[in-house]
Amino acid sequence: MAGLGLDSIGLDFADAQVEASVAGVLAKVETELRANIASADPMVDEAARHLVHAGGKRFRPLLVALGAQFGDPHAPQVVPAAVVMELTHLATLYHDDVMDEAPVRRGAVSANSRWGNAVAILVGDYLFARAADIAADLGTEAVRLQARTFARLVHGQIAETVGPRGDTDPVAHYLNVIAEKTGSLIATSVRFGGMFGGAPAPQIEALAGWGETIGIAFQLSDDLLDISSESVQSGKTPGTDLREGVPTLPVLYALGADDGDAASVRLREILALGSITDDALHAEALGLLRESPALKRARETVRSYAEEARACLAPLPDSAPRQALESLCDFIADRTG
């Protein structure tokens, strides 16, 4: 895996040929990304290249390439399909940064901080349009799937923004948001790989089911790392979600618990405040959460999604590509502690 620089994602290629094939697709994707975001307008060109040049793991194109391994990984439509998925993902990042008022993205000043919210939103729209243009060359089904995936992404963002309504269970609401915002694009990525690699229909469906479920598991495991890691293993300072009042799964479990012990009661009191900006309270809440039954329950939930994802792979042939997908299930189960 070191050759692809994706050790932090947890994929383990048991076969050097498969790894080389995937690496070849990703190299072509990188070239095509830069070619397809070019604009005659210098400002649009610069803003659109901003996140592409900032890098990233290209996880979604990688999954397109892996899905294609169950058919013909050299099929001509595999690379364009991977570009469609990455452009769609990048479009959502521009929009997310506006929603979150994020000052930094991938170690660089965010587009909204540099050019303002309006430009960031419009550049996201431009990238989505470019993705749709490429998808049109892949056929009607590709356009339909990409559009439906984007619709799910938008639904997820709206649901997250509005929050649970009425008597909606907060945990069910949160899991639905993750499925829409994260699972959907990962599912379509690996589905595209199977489709355009020419894999049999049952295997394509198995890949898509794995993608949606592993996407949820991965996001939930990030939630846990934000609480349990002593370092910046999660990619951000531990307790960031807690400080910002983001209701992740362990927090929701803690708030919904009826445990009567002093630690649980005190944790609920602090969490009920929402954003915890006071350093002393933040440290107390983080310590209580790390020792809470809620964190243990959240770990069990992550493991259950990882195992569910593994079960989705049953229709696939026992092969190196399948082993790579299974390795991600193991990684997510293990990283939760």
For residue 180, tell me if it sits in a domain: yes
User: Phi, psi at residue 305, to the nearest 5°?
Assistant: -70, -40
**Do 39 and 58 reside in the same domain of the chain?**
yes
Q: Quick: pLDDT tens for 191-233.
A: 999 999 999 999 999 999 999 999 999 999 988 988 987 654 4
How does residue 4 score in pLDDT terms, banded at 50, 70 and 90?
Answer: very low
Q: Are residues 269 and 316 in the same domain?
A: yes
The structure tokens 């709206």 sit at 158
Q: Which residues pair with 105 in a beta bridge?
A: 108
pLDDT tens readout for residues 252-279: 999 999 888 999 999 999 999 888 989 9
Domain that holds residue 114: 15-199
Given 160, 181, 199, the domain boundary residue is 199
Q: Which region, left, alpha or beta, applies to residue 239 given φ > 0 means left and ψ of -120 to 50 means alpha?
A: left
For residues 187 and 304, state if they share a domain: no
Residues 188 and 102 in one domain: yes
Domain boundary among 199, 214, 241: 199
User: What is the reported pLDDT for 285?
Assistant: 93
- 116-150 pLDDT, tens digit each: 788 888 888 989 999 999 999 999 999 999 999 99
Residues 127 and 271 in one domain: no
What's the whole-number average pLDDT of the chain?
A: 89
Q: What is the pTM of this model?
A: 0.91
User: In angstroms, rounded to a whole number, what is the distance separating the alpha carbons of residues 292 and 274?
Assistant: 18
134 with 206, same domain: the answer is: no
106 and 243 both lie in a single domain: no
| Rounded Cα distance, 251 and 237, in Å | 17
Tens-digit pLDDT profile for residues 53-85: 776 789 999 999 999 999 999 999 999 999 999
Q: How much of the chain exceeds pLDDT 70, in percent?
A: 92
Domain total for the chain? 2
Shared domain check, 261 and 144:
no
What are residue 159's phi and psi, to 5 degrees? -60, -40
Statement to judge: residues 319 and 297 lie in one domain: yes
Angle in degrees, CA 266, 268, 271, rounded to 5 = 110
Q: In terms of domains, do 189 and 236 share one?
A: no
9 part of a folded domain: no
pLDDT of 322 = 96
Using the 3D structure, point to which of 135, 166, 199 is the last residue of a domain: 199
Question: The domain that contains 125 carries what CATH number?
Answer: 1.10.600.10
